[in-house]
Amino acid sequence: MKALKYIFFLFLIVIIAIAIYIAVQPNDYSVTRTRTIKAPAAVIYENVNDYKNWASWSSWSEKDPNIKITLPEHTSGLEGSFSWEDADGVSTIKTIEVNPNKTIEQEIQINDYPKSNVTWKFNPNADGSTDVTRTISGEDLPFGFKLSTLLNGSMEEQIGPEYEHSLEKLDSVVQVDMRKYSIIVDKTPTQHSGGFYVYNSTATTFENFPSKMEKMLPDVMNYAQKNNITIAGAPFVLYHQWDEANNAVMFSCCIPTASRVITTGSDILTGQIEPFKALKVTLTGDYANLKEAWEMGMEAIKESSLEQDEDGPMIEAYLNTPMETPNPANLKTEIYIAVK
């Protein structure tokens, strides 16, 4: 009996020691992971801000395909939320504060554990990439929570790898999304209305063409705005020569105007395009796909009864710009090739 009593007291002392050890563990926790993603902050923010997208990159959804996700009517922005149910119970997350393209604050409750806070930060870099930081933190942790972390590993051990994998998957999803594009060729000729425009021109190599255009088009736009010229449509490039054999391209960067403008003391000139019949090609997506769009337009002319007007205009009009459209998949460009 004495032996059993000693064993009992020893067991009791061990239990008390373990309880004390658990009780003196930190009352708070914080787990942070950061990944640099080659995408504008606005593009990543829009993806993270809508819970409808989370299943595509959440590591927990990948680990447990049996998770039941419930999406309410409101999933994006302030007060957006969603819940999920797994073998351990029901969990919810809700957005409580947003600072567009910069931060998102969320409140998460996993099963019966106390609520924790989740913070997303989107810090843009000079090279166009974004440092995406995801942090989860909690405080006033109850005894049961501390016991769980003792048995299952610290929050750093449990959540850290999952956050790393989720950010990696988010990176992949964003890259795929930005590469999406479509090209529509309208094989029925359309009538381009032509019109007046202000422009500057140059001839250059194909290698220097992008940098030249990126400087010239804003120069024309700034001239129009500075001189209170009414802009009558989307900016466009008018191609005069495209000679791949000799690595030469001659073009004008143009801003359409409501009427003829007299320009003075500047390299900005005034032009006019007469109305013309054209084959129209619409590209929705990155400018990197413009070459394919032009080729599809030229091929469509060859395959139809149309004939290109060699002396007619070749226009590339930009219905929106990267400045206002961070995701290149949403850029929209119209191509007009003059036909007889």
For residue 24, the model assigns a pLDDT of 47
pLDDT at 23: 47
Give me 36's structure tokens. 């640099």
Weakest mean pLDDT among 155-159, 173-177, 295-299: 155-159
pLDDT-derived band at 28, boundaries 50, 70, 90: low
| Res. 22 pLDDT band, cuts 50 70 90 | very low
User: Is a pLDDT exceeding 70 seen at residue 12?
Assistant: no
The token pair that represents 72 in the structure block: 């309410």
Provide the sign of the torsion angle of the four alpha carbons 12, 15, 21, 27, taken in this order: negative
Residue 249 scores a pLDDT above 60: yes
* Nearest residue to 206 via CA among 244, 236, 237: 244
pLDDT at 140: 55
pLDDT at 13: 53
CA-wise closest residue to 227 among 257, 188, 205: 257
pLDDT tens digits, 194-233: 999 999 999 999 899 989 998 999 999 999 999 999 999 9
Contact 78, 95 (CB under 8 A): yes
What confidence tier does 39 reach under pLDDT thresholds 50, 70, 90?
very high
Residues 37-55, mean pLDDT to the nearest whole number: 96
Q: How far is 334 from 284, CA to CA, in rounded Å?
A: 9
pLDDT tens digits, 50-65:
999 999 998 887 777 8
Backbone phi and psi for residue 236, each to the nearest 5 degrees, phi listed first: -150, 160
Q: What pLDDT was estimated at residue 82?
A: 93
* 20 has pLDDT over 90: no
pTM of the complete model beyond 0.75: yes
pLDDT in tens, 130-165: 999 999 887 655 545 544 555 454 667 777 888 999
Tell me the average pLDDT across 165-172.
96
How confident is residue 3, by pLDDT bands cut at 50, 70 and 90? low
C-beta separation of 177 from 50 below 8 A: no
The pLDDT, as a whole number, for residue 60 is 80
Output the average pLDDT for the chain: 87
Which of 98-102, 261-265, 315-319 is predicted least confidently? 261-265
pLDDT at 289: 96
- On the question of pLDDT at 279 being above 90, the answer is yes
Give the angle subtended at the CA of 282 by the CAs of 276 and 288, to the nearest 5°: 120
Q: What are 56-115's pLDDT values in tens digits?
A: 998 887 777 888 989 999 999 999 999 998 877 888 999 999 999 999 999 988 777 778
- The one-letter amino acid code at 238 reads L
Q: Which of 204, 263, 197, 270 is nearest to 236 (CA)?
A: 197
Per-residue pLDDT band at 36 (split at 50, 70, 90):
very high
